[in-house]
């Protein structure tokens, strides 16, 4: 049987190799300064933590977090102020809307009253105008009647005068005129 186990080559003969027998072949664990890999990682972490403490990194992180917390608090306070202002504006506009609705109702009532008053005035004015026109028509009719009566009287008077002239002319002669003139003179 051929040996299928991988061969491990090292470049440094001074390195100590640990052999582990797993049954199929030999496995060699790497080492640095005689330390196993997990020990090297542990030491590196300790050095990193020591440097962080020496450079005050936790304080810087805490300070950064504190600054972030303060900024968030400021934003929350500003948001609370904005919310309070928004609620105040909402209440103010609610009052304005309620007032506007009342004003609109009052305006509608006033408009109705004014319309009713205008309607009543228009009816009264139209009745008065009808009465005036009726009176004017009656006055015109009465004037026309008076004019017609005056015309009839004038015509009758003219006809009577003409008839009297004719009758007097027919029945009166010169002798009757002398007699009439003598009577008028003696009466004076």
DSSP 12-26: -TTS--EEEE-SSSE
The upper half-sphere exposure of residue 71, i.e. CA atoms within 13 Å in the direction of its Cβ, equals 6
Residue 123: inside a domain: no
Residue 26: inside a domain: yes
Residue 28: inside a domain: yes
pLDDT at position 72 over 90 = yes
Question: What is the span of the domain harbouring residue 23?
Answer: 8-55
Residue 80: inside a domain: no
Residue 41: inside a domain: yes
> Which pair of structure tokens corresponds to residue 28?
């060699």
Q: For Cα atoms 167, 172, 176, give the angle at the middle one, nearest 5 degrees.
A: 150
What does the pLDDT read at residue 170? 76
Give the separation between CA 177 and CA 179, rounded to whole angstroms: 5
| Residue 27, strand partner residues | 20
What does the pLDDT read at residue 168? 76
Residue 187: inside a domain: no
> What pLDDT band is residue 111 in, cutting at 50, 70 and 90?
very high
What tens digit of pLDDT does each residue of 9-53 get?
Answer: 555 544 444 454 555 667 677 788 888 888 889 999 999 888 877
Name the domain count of the chain: 1
Residue 183: inside a domain: no
What tens digit of pLDDT does each residue of 113-168 get?
Answer: 999 999 999 999 999 999 999 999 999 999 999 999 998 988 888 888 888 888 77
Give the separation between CA 149 and CA 153, rounded to whole angstroms: 6
DSSP 69-92: HHHHHHHHHHHHHHHHHHHHHHHH
Helices (H), ranges, the chain: 37-54, 57-171, 174-187
Give the separation between CA 57 and CA 63, rounded to whole angstroms: 9
Residue 186: inside a domain: no
Q: How far is CA 173 from CA 128, 164, 167, 170, in A?
A: 66, 14, 11, 8
What tens digit of pLDDT does each residue of 90-100 get?
Answer: 999 999 998 88
């Amino acid at each position: 049987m051929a040996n299928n186990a991988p061969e491990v080559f090292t470049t440094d003969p001074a390195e100590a190799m640990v052999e582990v027998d797993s049954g199929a072949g030999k496995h060699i664990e790497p080492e640095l300064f005689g330390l196993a890999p997990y020990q090297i990682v542990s030491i590196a972490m300790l050095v990193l933590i020591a440097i962080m403490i020496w450079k005050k990194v936790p304080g810087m992180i805490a300070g950064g977090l504190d600054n972030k917390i303060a900024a968030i608090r400021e934003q929350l306070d500003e948001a609370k102020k904005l919310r309070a202002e928004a609620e105040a504006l909402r209440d103010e506009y609610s009052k304005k809307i309620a007032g506007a609705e009342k004003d609109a109702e009052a305006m509608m009532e006033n408009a109705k009253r004014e319309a009713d008053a205008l309607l009543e005035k228009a009816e009264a004015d139209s009745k008065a105008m009808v009465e005036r026109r009726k009176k004017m028509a009656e006055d015109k009719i009465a004037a026309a009647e008076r004019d017609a009566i005056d015309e009839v009287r004038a015509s009758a008077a003219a006809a009577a005068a003409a008839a009297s002239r004719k009758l007097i002319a027919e029945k009166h002669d010169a002798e009757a005129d002398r007699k009439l003139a003598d009577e008028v003179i003696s009466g004076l």
